[in-house]
Amino acid sequence: MRMANFKFAGHRSGGLLLLFLLFLPVFAAAAPGDKAIGILPVFEQGDSKLGSSFAQHLTTLIYGQLQTASMSPQLLNPGGLYSGSADAETLDYARSNNVTAVLVTTLLDTEIPDKGDFFVRVDGKLVDVASGSELASWESTAPISRHEFLTENAHTYGREAVARMPGGAYGTSAIDIVELSGSGSHPFDKTAVGKAALKIAQDMGGQIAHNAPAGAAAAPPPAAAPSCKIDFRVAYVAKHASSKSYDVVINGKDQTLSIVDGKVPVTLNSGPVLVQLAVHDAPYKMPKQDVYQANTQLGCAPEQHTLVLQIDQVGEGTLKWQEE
């Protein structure tokens, strides 16, 4: 799928690089029975010149914006066959996740003029899950400062690399701008590209708050409850098997090195849980996503002993709680 190239510090397999630990403000997630707004992964067309990393970051930033707007966002994972549209299969999956509407976003081609700033363009649609009708559509845009972008990357990668970037001697092949823009010492949301992503996410949040159907805009207050120990794992439900090789960040902390026989024992505070991961041992030909992002609510109830990301035969992912 389009979602690739996050950089996890603990990656042990050599191929996937995860550059993201965006520390989002922590608000309440949708409680069981609440109707939420589903957030489908930002779809990257392939000619945006920003690459799939930007799409991944933008998906998470939109999630954060809906939380700050007192919405009830639910990150959805429609699998590797997702084509950026609210088709019948995607809507069926959304209904199974108890959302009332879904946000469908597409990263369009980036305007890179000979002089001046770059312009990011993202198409947004809010779709009613029950009927499949479009509730609203819009295009969000934001500039990327050419000067800031080239300056920060010249400092990191050298002038020779910058000469091959957009705005330098821009060639015929698209360059993944985001791959050259984030690092552990320079977080994505502080870069020129990240600032543009945040502006896009803020506009998306405003559009959804204005157009969301009734009953989708009231998130429950954060619960004042103690922390508790849980286990996390990844299950391939069609194969009745568990993943033994994956990278995972839970609530902003890389837990990859804590994996023991496929499980991650972790202590979390009651409240929202955000899981971001990449699996490396998916069944043959399963159309997985390169990166899964999912959220749920922890109340430290007895039935919340094990949190499982269930991935089905078409790569659709859903978080489920299991008793011990």
Cβ-contact 275, 249 below 8 angstroms:
yes
pLDDT given for residue 170 in this prediction: 38
pTM metric for this prediction:
0.83
The reported pLDDT for the residue numbered 215 is 64
- The residue with greater pLDDT, 117 or 311, is 311
Residue 12 lies in a domain: no
Mark whether 183 and 132 lie in a shared domain: yes
Nearest to 203 by CA among 145, 144, 139: 139
Q: Which of 211, 238, 268 is the last residue of a domain?
A: 211
Kindly write down the DSSP assignment for every residue of 59-99, as one continuous string.
Answer: HHHHHHHHHHTT--EEE-B--TT--SS--HHHHHHHHHTTE
Is 41 inside any structural domain? yes
Last residue of a domain, one of 182, 211, 240: 211
With a cut of 60, say whether residue 1 has pLDDT above it: no
User: 189 and 90 share a domain?
Assistant: yes
Q: Per mean pLDDT, which of 41-50, 107-116, 243-252 is the most reliable?
A: 243-252
* Alpha-carbon gap, residue 175 to 51, rounded angstroms: 8
Residue 298 lies in a domain: yes
Same domain, residue pair 180 and 42: yes
Domain annotation covers residue 27: no
The confidence score (pLDDT) of residue 205 equals 94
Question: Is the same domain home to 116 and 54?
Answer: yes
Last residue of a domain, one of 166, 186, 211: 211
Same domain, 171 and 267: no
Q: Which residue has the higher pLDDT, 49 or 281?
A: 281
Asked whether residue 222 is domain-assigned, the answer is: no
d(CA 114, CA 170): 9
Q: Which of 24-33, 99-108, 165-174 has the lowest mean pLDDT?
A: 165-174
Q: Has residue 202 been placed in a domain?
A: yes
CATH number where 291 lies: 2.60.40.180
Q: Are residues 100 and 190 in the same domain?
A: yes
In terms of domains, do 189 and 44 share one? yes
Q: Are residues 76 and 168 in the same domain?
A: yes
pLDDT at 159 exceeding the cut of 70: no
Q: Which of 3-12, 104-113, 261-270, 304-313 has the lowest mean pLDDT?
A: 3-12
Looking at the structure, do residues 149 and 243 belong to the same domain, yes or no?
no
Domain, as residue range, for 202: 36-211
221 domain-assigned:
no
Give me the number of domains the chain comprises: 2
Judge whether residue 312 has pLDDT over 50: yes
- Asked if pLDDT for residue 35 goes beyond 80, the answer is no
CATH of the domain at 59: 3.40.50
Q: Let me know if residue 8 belongs to a domain.
A: no
